[in-house]
Structures are given as C-alpha cells and as structure tokens.
Amino acid sequence: MDKYKIDKYTFITGATGGIGYELALVFAKNNHNLCLVARDIKKLREIKLHFESTYKIKVIIYGVDLTLEKGIIEIYQDIKYNNIIIENIINNAGFGSFGRFHEVDKDKDLTMIELNIKSLTHILKLFIPELIENGGGGIMNVASTAAFQSGPMMSVYYATKAYVLSLSGALRLELSPYNINVSTLCPGPTDTNFQSRAKVEKAKSAKGFMMTAESVAISAYKGFKKGKEIIIPGFQNKVLVYGSYLLPRKLIHKVILKVNKG
C-alpha cells in the first residue's frame, strides 16, 4: 500500500460505474484521496459514504455533466477556491455509439465528441498548469484498443479514442520535464454499461474475452504506478493490438467490421 497522501487528491471522471468506479476503488484502497465526477449525484454520495467509512481517505464529489463547459469550469473554480491539490488526473468518462456513420443520430455522435474529446481536453487545459505549479503528478487518459485502428460500425467512437491516444503520447514528452507522467489506458472489451449505452452487439467471439472492470482497473493502477506509456490490460488485448501491426490495414478493418457487426 502507498503512503497516506494528506492533502493531495486523485481526480477521476466517470466514477459512478464500470472502469471509473473500479479505478476509484483501487485508488481508495491505496489511500488516495479522491475527487470524483459523474452525472449521478445520488450514486456519488453513496460511493463517498462507502469509501470514507471503509478507507482512510477523503472524497469530494461533483455531480456534473461533462459535456457542459460550464460544469467543468465550476469544478475547477471550486477546487481552486478550496485549495484542493490535484495530484493525479484520470480522464475516464466516455461512451460509444454503434451503427453506420450516416445512420447514427447526429446529436449522439456530437455529444460523444464533446465528452470523449472536448471535456478531456478542457480538463487537461485547466489542470495541467496546476500539476506543474504543484511540482508534478500523473495523468491517465482512458482510450481503448479501438484507438489503434479505424472502426467500421463505430467510426466516430474509434476516432475519438485515436485522438486520446495521440494527444497523450505528445503530452507525455512535453510534460516529462515537469515531473508529470502521462499514461494511456487502452482496455479491450470490458463488461460494463458501455455496451448497452452504445447499443453494441458484439460477435460471440468478442463477448468471450471480455474482461471485468475490476481486472482492468487493477492492471491500470499497476501500469500507472510504474509510469507506463500505454497500458493494455489482458494478454489477448495485447496480442490483438501488437499483432495488428503485422497485418495489412485493409484486412484488420475487415475483421473489425465483422466483429463489430456481431
């Protein structure tokens, strides 16, 4: 277990369920104070109560829709006003959409870009200067194994994750002189609400190797603590990502289309 961190907080978005909740849990178990963000304030209150009564940590919660710029600014202002020191930023909140590009509801895809790309960028723009001022810290941006290729039937989602992977790789080099580690978490299919929100009908083969959110979070925490650049939880996911470099792009995209179509 890490040493008790007195005044520093780990900031996690999308902490009421799935991978974000499990990440919050593993950070709580390792004595990190937490700033948790999601829309469902009732769930956040339950998590705060549970974590503070079980672990020796403090938990601050923000019930905010991150697709609204105003909400992000309010969080930032509250953190500044209360002199809360953010040590780690984990940009996890995100969702996907499923279907042919021209058939998926326009507003759904635009909202996804707002959350997966714009809110993540906005949070980093506001908080990176704080990390620098505080002498360093860590950032973990949640992308996906989807970040490495194009994704027919989930085209916008895959593209948003490519953005996260690309941005994180650049920030890693820019921020290393400031003692800030940047990791990108790239989970493969994981058993959470993600699939139903995206209305994804994965092929049976994909369902067969879904990981639990808990195992993804444990692997993420270990990788983050080691300062790894890219964290791909699960052996099969690693084989799929690195193996895909050996195959022609056209073939990879055909396979992804088949898997995504179910």
Ligand X SMILES: NC(=O)c1ccc[n+]([C@@H]2O[C@H](COP(=O)([O-])OP(=O)(O)OC[C@H]3O[C@@H](n4cnc5c(N)ncnc54)[C@H](OP(=O)(O)O)[C@@H]3O)[C@@H](O)[C@H]2O)c1
Q: Are the C-beta atoms of residues 228 and 168 closer than 8 Å to each other?
A: no
Position with the least CB separation from ligand X? 18
Binding-site ranges for ligand X (CB under 6 A): 13-20, 38-40, 43, 65-67, 92-96, 115, 142, 144, 187, 189-190, 192-194, 197, 213
Strands (E), the chain: 8-13, 33-38, 59-63, 85-91, 137-142, 180-185, 190-191, 211-212, 230-231
Q: Minimum CB separation from ligand X for residue 247, in Å?
A: 21
Nearer to ligand X among residue 52 and residue 114 (C-beta): 114
Q: Minimum CB separation from ligand X for residue 42, in Å?
A: 9
Nearer to ligand X among residue 75 and residue 180 (C-beta): 75
**What's the CA angle centered on 194, arms 216 and 244, to 5 degrees?**
60
Nearer to ligand X among residue 3 and residue 70 (C-beta): 70
Give counts: helices (H), strands (E), the chain: 11, 9
Residue in 212, 241, 232 with CA at minimum distance from that of residue 25: 212
Nearer to ligand X among residue 213 and residue 240 (C-beta): 213
Nearer to ligand X among residue 4 and residue 242 (C-beta): 242
Nearer to ligand X among residue 52 and residue 65 (C-beta): 65
Q: Minimum CB separation from ligand X for residue 3, in Å?
A: 28
What Å distances lie between residue 87 and 9, 22, 27, 103, CA to CA? 5, 19, 12, 42
> 131 CB contacts (<8 Å, ≥6 apart)?
86, 87, 89, 137, 139, 175, 178, 180
